[in-house]
């Protein structure tokens, strides 16, 4: 059977709102019949394959209300910001390596030029690259409808493969997290079949250190469960401990126990478990070195 990859096979109405309020009005009116187009790197493919067939497409890619980038006591990243804008911004800030590394791993220039932070989160994929580092940042997403606004901790945002707590009439406005205190650092690692491919396993680790003692640790992984997840048992085991080879070996085993991977077309459950432990050790060693600077 030949799979269509060139044309959109279903008719739909296309709206380009001039403001966020207008976009929210469209979604409030159309509900489940509408899809939001931010960058379209996933939605357009799904529509070409016939997996999604919205009656209405609301293009929010030009909305200025979703384009902000702010750094102060909190870091705010507008959900409509393209990766090609966010990546150099984070690199200039110099302290948020994990998210920069995740964005840099996502794709080539063609993807980075159109894909957005909000789209990557709203798509709900367990293999999405930006949720693990953002979860270790303690990030939240601010979402709006025509009637209300709410702030949702990112670790509560995803509910299953391709699903989130986002209502049909809501739009992600921005992602926010506290600026890093001195002594905190993060690293992100990703395993794929080929460069820029969908993840087999991802791991982000954030640490704070006092000399050789770990005072805080957050570990988040992707593509190893129905949602991005935190390895809380391993986090608890590291807190207050001296970081050495035996401690990391122990915590790597706990990371493997904390995840729930499956077999799929990209790799097996067993492979994912083995890889998760390896990526964790690689990520924490890098984060640990960065935290000393």
pLDDT digits (tens, 9 = 90+) for 280-290: 999 999 999 99
Residue-level pLDDT at 198: 87
Flag the least confident range among 100-114, 151-165, 173-187.
Answer: 100-114
- Over its C-alpha atoms, the chain yields an Rg (Å, rounded) of 19
| pLDDT tens, residue by residue, 60-97 | 999 999 999 999 999 999 999 999 999 999 999 988 99
The total number of residues written for the chain in this structure: 293
Domains of the chain: 13-59 (3.30.43.10), 64-178 (3.30.465.10), 186-291 (3.30.390.50)
For the chain, percent of residues with pLDDT exceeding 70: 98
C-alpha to C-alpha distance for 181 and 207, rounded to whole angstroms:
11
For the chain, percent of residues with pLDDT exceeding 90: 85
Question: Is the confidence at residue 43, as pLDDT, over 80?
Answer: yes
Residue-level pLDDT at 5: 61
C-alpha to C-alpha distance for 68 and 36, rounded to whole angstroms:
19
Residue-level pLDDT at 109: 83
C-alpha distances (whole Å) from 194 to each of 105, 191, 261, 286 are: 11, 9, 20, 23
Residue-level pLDDT at 65: 97
Exposure of 285 by Cβ count < 10 A (0-12 exposed, 13-18 middle, 19+ buried)? middle
- If we measure between CA atoms, which residue out of 133, 126, 129 comes closest to residue 115? 129
Question: Is the confidence at residue 2, as pLDDT, over 90?
Answer: no
Q: Is 276 helix (H, G, I), strand (E, B) or coil?
A: helix
In three-state form (DSSP H/G/I as H, E/B as E, the rest C), the secondary structure along 102-166 is HHHHHCCHHHHCCCEHHHHHHCCCCCCCCHHHHHHCCCEEEEECCCCEEEEEHHHCEEECCEECC
Question: Is the confidence at residue 1, as pLDDT, over 60?
Answer: no
Question: Is the confidence at residue 6, as pLDDT, over 80?
Answer: no
C-alpha to C-alpha distance for 15 and 55, rounded to whole angstroms:
11
Residue-level pLDDT at 197: 79
- Cβ atoms of 215 and 182 within 8 Å: the answer is no
Q: Which two tokens stand for residue 131?
A: 């949720």
| pLDDT tens, residue by residue, 94-138 | 889 999 999 999 877 888 899 999 999 999 999 999 999 999 999
Residue-level pLDDT at 173: 98
| pLDDT tens, residue by residue, 49-62 | 888 999 999 999 99
What is the rounded average pLDDT of the residues 267-285?
96
pLDDT, the chain, mean: 93
Residue-level pLDDT at 242: 92
Q: Which two tokens stand for residue 96?
A: 């948020």
Element containing residue 121 per DSSP (H, E): helix 117-122
pTM of the model: 0.93
Residue-level pLDDT at 7: 81
Residue-level pLDDT at 10: 86
- Which residues neighbour 32 within 8 Å (Cβ) at sequence distance 6 or greater? 168
Residue-level pLDDT at 3: 60
């Amino acid at each position: 059977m030949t799979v269509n990859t060139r044309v959109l096979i279903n008719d739909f109405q296309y709206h380009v709102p001039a403001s966020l309020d207008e976009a929210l009005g469209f979604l409030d009116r159309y509900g489940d019949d509408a899809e939001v187009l931010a960058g379209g790197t996933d939605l357009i493919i799904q529509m070409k394959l016939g997996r999604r067939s919205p009656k209405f497409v609301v293009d929010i890619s030009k909305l200025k209300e979703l384009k902000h980038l702010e750094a102060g006591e909190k870091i705010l990243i507008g959900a409509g910001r393209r990766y090609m804008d966010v990546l150099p911004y984070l690199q200039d800030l110099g302290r948020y390596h994990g998210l920069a590394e995740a964005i840099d791993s996502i794709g080539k220039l063609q993807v980075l030029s159109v894909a957005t932070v909000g789209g990557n989160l709203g798509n709900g994929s367990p293999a999405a690259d930006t949720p693990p580092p953002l979860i270790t940042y303690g990030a939240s997403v601010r979402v709006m409808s025509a009637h209300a606004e709410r702030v949702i901790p990112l670790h509560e945002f995803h509910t299953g493969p391709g699903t989130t707590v986002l209502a049909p009439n809501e739009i992600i406005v921005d992602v926010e997290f506290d600026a890093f205190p001195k002594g905190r650092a993060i690293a992100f690692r990703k395993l794929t079949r080929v460069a820029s491919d969908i993840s087999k396993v991802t791991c982000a680790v954030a640490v704070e250190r006092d000399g050789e003692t770990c005072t805080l640790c957050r570990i988040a992984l992707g593509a190893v469960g129905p949602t991005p997840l935190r390895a809380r048992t391993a986090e608890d085991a590291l807190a207050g401990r001296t970081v050495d080879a035996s401690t990391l070996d122990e915590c790597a085993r706990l990371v493997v126990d904390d995840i729930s991977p499956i077999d799929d077309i990209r790799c097996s459950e067993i492979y994912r478990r083995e890889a998760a432990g390896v990526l964790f050790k690689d990520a924490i060693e890098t984060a640990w070195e960065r935290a000393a600077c």
